[in-house]
Structure formats: structure tokens, C-alpha cells
Structure 1
Amino acid sequence: MKLAILLASVASVHAFQSPAVSTLARGAGGLRSPLPSTPVAARQQTKLGVAATADDAEKRAWFKENFPRTTKLAKGLKSPEVKKVVPLAIIFFCILFNYTILRDTKDVLVVTAPKSGAEIIPFLKTYVNLPGAIAFTILYSSLSNRFSQPQLFRGVIGTFLTFFASFAFLLYPNIGVLHPNGLCDAMQGFLPASFAAPIAILRNWTFSMFYLMAELWGSVVASLLFWGFANSVVSVKEAKKYYPLFGLFANIALVFSGQFVRLVSKLRVGATGADAWGLSLQLLMGGVCASGGVLLGAYEYMQRKVVTDPECVDPSTLKKAKVKTKMSMGESAKYLAQSKYIRDLATLVIGYGMAINIVEVTWKANLKKQFPDPAAYSAFMGGFSSSTGVVTFFMMLVGQQVLKRFGWGIAAAVTPVTLLATGVTFFSLVLAPGFWQPVAAKLGTTPLMMAVFVGAAQNIASKSTKYSLFDPCKEMAYIPLDAEQKTKGKAAVDVIGNPLGKSGGALYQQGLILSLGSLAASTPYLAGSLFLIIAFWLKSAKSLAGQFDRKMEEVDQE
């Protein structure tokens, strides 16, 4: 079961979100009144330290009205809770700050590497990430029997930081010696051209290792280590109160890390020397290590000042591990086959995983065409990450209103409809650039640049709607089920749905690339597949909406 949980977290785009984080939209409320304007004089008085004016009081009243949960949390924060929640928030911020930098950097490395491209990503997910996740699970299970949780936390974090520092300062400067270019050139001489992506994994093996470690940081450090530690020191009552705030930190970390990547990009633009990207990489990994140092410092503070303090962590109220229904892959498949409700729910999860996988790989291929230089590619990804954080933040605030006013069915359909609408535009730009040439000329750009920006908008929109609507709807779908259906149904969806979505999309793309020779030749088939997947997704969402409403009516009548 540990293996299934880890693989599911590797497949998740936001593995680091707690289930409680999805309640943020429910707690934030909608904006019910416009922000009152503050006269210039009042603002000047505030700067000069003059007593608060009536406008200040009005502004505070507006904030209290529109963000009641935030105001309530701020007033209800007690000293022992501050002592515990603040360092936890710092740890969470540092983990996600690093995750965003690593996620953007790994794409830059493998996509812009010599004789590589976006075609390499599906092969990396299947033949590098999957075996790596299995190997780590086995190793972690063995180490957990020999070391305490604090020792494991420090050891795992230290190992990650050591690797990232070594990569930037030791491995990358010596890739000319470490990468087997001669062997790979010989392999390309007698193997079909469609094998270019698998050969690129071997050719750039240090980049492939970085890709794996960056992926594992999100699933291992965030999902396994952080939430495991947080759940051991935070009571159920406190979790309901403060976990939603961590969702805000997740998006703030996206914004800060994205801007840090962009800042480093500007610094390296003026760098001199043969490899400005190498300097940039050292600065980025230096930031990761510095953030990791803060992370470990906050963790040590909690171990010495919080965990040992009965006012912060009461041993008598520590939560015991929940007994979960363990299901094998075969048992999960059997349970899915028996329940149409759970089967439809799994289809939603599989549909998202396959759809976003297909879109991202094609988008990154065009992104490399527009930004072949690693510096420009990385700068764009920094802005993309910041934009994702900002949009997701606001979508989480309005998500509750969508659910409240339009119901579960409409809310669940927003994500696939968003992917469909933006997908039509994106793939038309990729497959028929000549059609868009007049429009691009009027805008003073090119169809390729338009495809890059539309693809970015598609990714931002689909991910923000997933976190704010799709995930809450998925969790809500379990509410009307009985205890056995909840546990077995969730186990079945987690074991089959999450891995099958990501791995299924990757394997499908591999088959097309190997049979057709390139990602470009596969793009028309990927576009058609995307629309077919979304059609099944919407059909299942409509079916599940009816079943959900009927079950909720039954619950209300009981």
C-alpha cells in the first residue's frame, strides 16, 4: 500500500496538497462588497503615523466581511498555536519554494539538452520516475525500521540538498566528460529515428537523474515527510482550523519562487563566459540549498521547542494512525467494476491525468521551439509559475461560490470544459499556423508565440480550476457514501485512477512517437485523443452528478 500511495503522489500535479487544503474555498467566502476607496489624504495620514481615520475603520470592516475566516483565524491564534503553526508554515513554504524551482529547472534541462526535446518526458516518467519511486519506497520502508522519524526527515532532506548542490557545482560543469555522447551517436546510427528520446535519456543521464530527484522532492518531501510530520503534531481540531491556510502558502510560494527564477534569468543575461546557464544553475541550486537550510532550522526548532512542549503537543491527544482499507491492484479493479459510482469517479481522475499529460508535452515541445536557449526557457517558466500561483489563489477564493450557486455538476464540468475550449485554440495554432498568420501579424507576433502563450494560459486555467473546483468536487463525491464505500472507493481510485491517468498518457504518447517517429508527427493524433478523453470525462461527470444528487437526497431524508 505504501508503494501505491507514493506512486499516486508522484502522478499528482499538486502532490503536496493536504485534503484539508481543498476546504479553503469553503472557508474563504465570496467577496460580498467592493473594497472601499481610501482618499489620498487618509493614506498620507497613515504613512505619517496619524491615528486611524473612519476610512481605515471602513476598510477593516470590509476585510472582516469578505474574509471572515481569515479574520477569525487571526484573532483566534493563541501563543502555543503560534509557536507551532508558524514554523510549520515556514517549512511548508520552503518545501514548495524549492519544488517550483526544481520543477521548472528539470524541464529546462531535459527539454533543451543536446539532441533532446519534449519527446523525452513520457519516457522519463515511465522508465526513470516509476522505477525510482519503487526503489525509494523499498529503501524508505527498510530505513523506517532502523531509524526514528526525525532521523529519517533530516537524512532524506540532507540527501536531496547534497545531490542538488553536487549537480550544480560538480556534475553539470563536467557533463562533457560524464555524458556518453560517442556511444549514443553510435546507437543512433543503427537504431530507428523514433528511438531518439530513449537514447537522449542515456546521453543526458545526469539530467535524467536531476529530473527524477526533482520529481521525488514533490512526492517524498512534501507528501510523505511534511504531512506525516504535520499530522503527528497537529490535532484534528487544529488541522481543520489551520490546514486551509497552508493552501495560501502553496500559492504564495509559487509566486515567490517564480520571481526568483526570473531574477536569476536576468542576472545571467549579462553574464560573461562560455556557459551562462551553468552560472544560473548554481544560483538556482544555491537558493534551493539556502531554503533547505531554513527548512531544517525550522524543523529543529519544532523538535526542541514544540514537540517537547505539552502546551503545544499533548501526548494524550496525539492522533493515532488511521486504519485504512488496503487494496491490491486486482482488488481495486474488481471494486471499480462493481460500482458505477466509483467507476465514474475514477474516470474523472484518469481523464484529468491523461489530458493534462498530453497537453503539457505538446506545449513544452513548442516552448522549446520558441525559447531554445535555456536562459529564455527558464525565465518564461518562472513567469508561468508565478502566474499559476496568482490565478490559483483567486480561483480558490471564488470556487465556493461556483459550487454554491451552480451545484456539483457544473463545478465538476468546469475543468474539462476549460481544457476543451483552450485545447481547440492551442492545437489549431500548432496544426494550422498558416490559418492564424494574419491574426498573428496584426498582433505583431507569430503563430508559434501565440501557441506558447495559449498553451501557458491553458495550463494555468486547467490547474487553477483543478485545485479550486475539481479536487473539492472529487472529495465531496465521497460524502454520501457509507463507511465501507468511502474507504474502499477511495482506495480503488487512488490505486488505479491516479497512476493510470499519468502513466496511461505517457505510454500512449510513447507508442505514437515510436510508431510515427516524432512528437510532431503524433500531434494530430494527440489532439483527437484529447477531445475523445474529455468527451468521456464530461459524460462520466454528468452521470456522476445525477448519482451524487440522488444519494444526497437519500442522506437528507434519513
Structure 2
Amino acid sequence: MSSFAKELKNAVWPIENKELPKFLPMAFMMMCILFNYAVLRSIKDSLIVVNIGAEAINFLKFYVVLPSAVLAMIVYSKLCNVTNAAGVFYAISAFFIAYLLAFALFIYPNPTVVHPDQVWIDSLAAQYDRWKWFIKIMGKWSYASFYVVAELWGSLMVSLLFWQFANSITATAEAKRFYAMFGMLGNLGLPIAGSVLKMQMADPIETTKFKVLMTAISAVAIVMSYYWLNTRVLPYQDAGGAKTKKTKMKLSLGESFKMILSSRYLALIALLIISYSISTNLVEVAWKAKARALYPTVESYQNFMGNFQIIQGYGTIIFMLIGSNILRKLSWKTAALITPLMFLVTGLGFFSFVIFDDIISAYLSAFLSGGALAFAVSLGTWQQVLGKGTKYSLFDPTKEMSYIPLDDEMKSKGKAAVDVIGGRLGKSGGAFIQSTTFILFPSLTFAEAIPYFAVIFTFIVLLWLYAVSKLNVEYNKKLASVSSN
């Protein structure tokens, strides 16, 4: 093989043949996890945005999802103290599979049975206007529960269990080649999810039921892949198939928080996650409010989200190809800075159009054939595609690489506290800002509140850029310390 051909092969496929038995099952797991993430995310949004309203998302994220994430963290911590990593993975996966089956087969097909009378809910909401969003959420509690479980899937299966498993079996040299490729192949799950979301049956209830059942089947495939890796691949990676027994760590939830607060390094990683979560929440909810106005039914909204997932999936794969080479050839800092810079440019572009849509539309009316609303939704869609593309291809790999120089205690429960609680605090931070605004000013619309959200968004992204710069210094110190030992 010529040097050029070898360089081209390494740029497109940097995985060696001997590494395939470990790499391919991990990539398949990532694909299934992201397939579920995309399908669950789109369904949860369609159920809430269409049946309750986009404003309800912020109330759910802060007042329901955040406490649920704290509870999940407590359960995770307890599981870590009573069983090994495999037991934790199987237990959490079993919970998701059981819920998805119950929702698809029993809860969702019977809305009139599980939900209170809608006339009564509407009268309560009208009587207590300041608390109307809480009342509306209680009136559709099963959709709210689905929203919570879908959010926890992203936090637990993507951010915590998968990456913790990957970090435990991947060396730093492998991570530079593996992690971006995990994302590239894993994101094939997004266009598949998009095709599933676009499927429509004669009965809308049967359509959503089928889509949720597909996620349950995908979750089973994830568990089977994890089992295969642990029983058929990893035991034979070392000479003679020997495995080093690790000491089980005993660390409470409070100690995990204390670890973050006492560690500048973990605090900076948490700041990255919180900054990303708040900034994406501020843009995303405004985009979904616009999308709901353009696509007012569950079916049309899910079809729109299906198209979005297809575009995002292929877009992210392209970003992964570029990102894998950026990770291998450029510094950690350069790779880590690209995502917040992308958010700053595209986010401000979206907010600017929404704020000044009347003025801009007057000048660009000849080019806005679908109208200002359709253009705003399209602009928000591309912001999400570009933002999520850089997030998956560069933000996630660089964040996970920052854990590798840490000791086992920091990698496991320190990471759990940072990812689950930090991620939820970030999303809930954005949700708190917006939900509190609508509680204090119940008559306020998104259009009227967006200028204030845009200012907060800009400040958060600038804070994100600062955190990257500071963490880069600490990361290089850790790497130097590990290399010298």
C-alpha cells in the first residue's frame, strides 16, 4: 500500500483489523443508543408540544426531570455499591425496556383511562392562570412520564453507561481513533430513526405504539451487544485471557458532589456540560415553538422531526469524518473550541432572525417563498444540525478524552456526578430561566421573551469558551503527569 493510500485509509478508517472485535460491537451499541435517543426525543417532543404546548417543556425539565435525575443518580450510586459495572448496566437497561413496553402496550393506547377529564383540567387551568402549565402537565401525566424517561435515556445510556464502559476498555491512543468513529457509525442510527419517525399507519395511536416498540427492541439489542463484549471479546484481550480484578469503590452521592466541588478539573468539565446544556436549551425550545406553529398535529410534527433526524444523521456523519481527523491532527483545545464557536454563530443567527423577523422579511420577501415562519423553522433546524454535528463529533469525544488521565475513582463516580447531575443542571438551568419567566409573566409570549434569552445565551457561550481554555491547561498537566509515571 502506497503512503498516500495508507494516509487516505487512516483518514477515513483509522481502525486496525485486530481492533474490530472490540470496536464494531461498541459502534453498534452507539448506533442503537442514538437510534433510541432520536426516536424517543422526537416522540416526547411531539406528545408535549402538540398536546400541552412548547412552554411546558421548560416546566418539565426543571420541576420533573431534574428531581428524577437526582433520584436516578441516587439509585445508580446504590447500584454501584451492591453490584459490578455489568450488573448496573443490566439493571438500568431492564428498567428502560420494561417502561417502553408498558407505555407502548398499555399506557399510550388508553389515554381516556389513564388521564383525568380534560374539561376539568381546562377549567382548573383557567381558574389558576399562574399555575396553568403545572395543571396541564398533570392532565397529561403519561406524556410527562414518557418525556422524563426519554430524557433519562440520554443522560444514563448515552452520557454515562456507554461512555463509562468505553473509557474503561479504551486506551488514550485508541480513543483518538475510536471515539470519533463511534460517533460516525453510531449516527447511522439517526437517519434510520428518521425513516421510522416518518412511517404512518391508518391509526395514529398504532403508529406511535409501533415506534416505541422499536425502541424497546433496540434496547434489547444493546444489552445483547454488551453481553457479547463482556463474555466473548474482552476476556481474551489480555494474554491468556486473564483479567485484572478491580476493587469495588464505595462512594456516596454526597461524596460524589464533594468530589466535583473539591476538584477544579471536574468542576471545569461540569461547566462545559452545563454551558452546552443551557445554551442548546435556550435555542431549542424557541425553535420547537416555531415548529409547533408550522406543524400543529402529532403526525405532522413527527414527520417533520423524521426529516430533521435524517438530515442531522447524515450531517453528523460528515462532521465525524472531519472531526476524527481534527482530533488526530490538531490539539485538544482546538477541537474543543469548535463546538461553542459553532453555537455562538448559528445561535445568534437564529435569534437575530426571530427578533427582527419583520424587518428582515421586508427586505428578503422575494427569497422567503414559504414565509417568515417556515424560514425561521428552517434556520433553527440548520442551527440544530450544525450544533449537534459538532457536539457529537468534537464536544463529546474531547469531553470523554478529558476523563482518561484520571484515576478509577474519578472516572466512575466522579464522571457519573458530572454527567448526570451536571447535564441535568444545565438543561434545568435553561428551563428554570424560561419557566420562571412564564410563571412571573403568564401572558408573555416566546416572541416577547426571546431578546432576553438571546442575551443570556451569548453570556453562557462565552463562559463555555472560557471553561475550554482553562480545562486545556489542566488536561495537559494531567497527561504530562500520567506519562511521567
Compute the TM-score of the two structures, normalised by the length of structure 2: 0.80
Matched, 1:289 2:216: yes
Task: State the match for 1:123 in structure 2.
Answer: 59
2:368–2:375 Cα contact (<8 Å) kept:
no
1:184 aligns with 2:121: yes
Change (3 A) 1:499 1:299: closer
Residues 158 and 445 from structure 1, CA distance in 2 versus in 1: closer, same or farther, beyond 3 angstroms? Answer: same
The equivalences for 1:185-334 within 5 A come to 185-192=122-129, 194-226=130-162, 234=169, 236=171, 240=175, 245-262=181-198, 264=199, 267-268=200-201, 271=202, 276-298=203-225, 316-318=242-244, 320=246, 327-329=255-257, 332-333=260-261
Q: Equivalent residue for 1:105?
A: 43
Q: How do 1:542-557 residues align onto structure 2 when only pairs under 5 Å count?
A: none
Q: Rg larger in 1 or in 2?
A: 1
What percentage of residue pairs aligned between the two structures are identical?
A: 35
Q: Summarize the Cα distance change of 1:310–1:65 in structure 2 as closer, same or farther, 3 Å threshold.
A: closer
- Paired position in structure 1 for 2:460: 533
* CA drift at 1:183: 4.0
The residue that corresponds to 1:422 in the other structure is 346
Structure 1 window deviating more from structure 2 (500-509 vs 236-245): it is 236-245
Structure 1 unpaired stretches of 5+: 1-56
Q: Note if contact 1:103-1:215 (Cα within 8 Å) is conserved in structure 2.
A: yes
Shift of 1:429: 2.6
Report the counterpart of residue 27 of structure 1 in structure 2.
Answer: none
Structure 2 equivalent of residue 436 of structure 1: 360
Matched with 1:383 is: 307
Alignment check: 8 A CA contact 1:161 1:289 kept: yes
Separation in 1 of the partners of 2:44 and 2:239?
A: 38
> 1:320: how far off?
2.6
Deviation at 1:366, TM superposition (A): 0.9
Q: TM-score scaled by structure 1?
A: 0.71
Aligned length: 477
Given that residues 355 and 451 in structure 2 are in contact (C-alpha distance below 8 angstroms), is that contact kept between their aligned partners in structure 1? yes
Give the Cα separation in 2 of the matches to 1:497 and 1:246. Answer: 23
Query: Could you give the per-residue CA deviations for residues 444-494 of structure 1, whole angstroms, max 9, x where no partner exists?
Result: 111111111111111121222233334455567789999999999989966
Match of 2:17 in 1: 75
Distance 2:166 2:459 in 1: 41
Match of 1:503 among 419, 428, 442: 428
Distance 1:154 1:352, change over 3 A: closer
* Distance across 2 between alignment mates of 1:296 and 1:347: 31
| AA of the residue aligned to 1:435 | I
Aligned residue for 1:67, secondary structure, equals helix
Paired position in structure 1 for 2:33: 95
Once the two structures are superposed, the pairs formed by residues 346-365 of structure 1 within 5 Å of their partners are 347-365=271-289
Q: Distance in 1 between matches of 2:123 and 2:212?
A: 33
Asked if the contact 1:95–1:295 (Cα under 8 Å) also holds between the matched residues in 2, the reply is yes
Alignment of 1:121-160 (within 5 A): 121-140=57-76, 153-154=89-90, 156-160=92-96
Q: 1:370 to 1:76 in 2, by over 3 A?
A: same
Aligned partners of 1:195 and 1:514 also within 8 Å: yes
Contact kept, 8 Å, 2:81 with 2:251, in 1: the verdict is no
Q: Which runs of 5+ in 2 are unaligned?
A: none
Alignment root-mean-square deviation, CA: 4.4
1:312 to 1:66, Cα distance in 2 relative to 1, 3 A: same
Distance 1:552 1:302 in 2: 30
Aligned equivalents of 1:311 and 1:486: distance in 2? Answer: 21
Cα distance in 2, alignment partners of residues 231 and 416 from structure 1: 24
For residues 328 and 287 of structure 1, the distance between their equivalents in structure 2, rounded to whole angstroms, comes to 35
For residues 352-391 of structure 1, give each alpha carbon's deviation from its aligned partner in whole angstroms, at most 9, with x where no partner exists.
Answer: 2211111111111111111111112111212222222222
Change (3 A) 1:486 1:188: closer
Is the 1:353–1:501 Cα contact (8 Å) retained in structure 2?
Answer: yes
* Structure 1 residue 198, shift from structure 2 partner: 1.6
| Letter paired with 1:157 | S
Shift in CA distance, 314/253, structure 1 to aligned 2, threshold 3 Å: farther
TM-superposed CA distance for 1:97, in Å, is 1.9
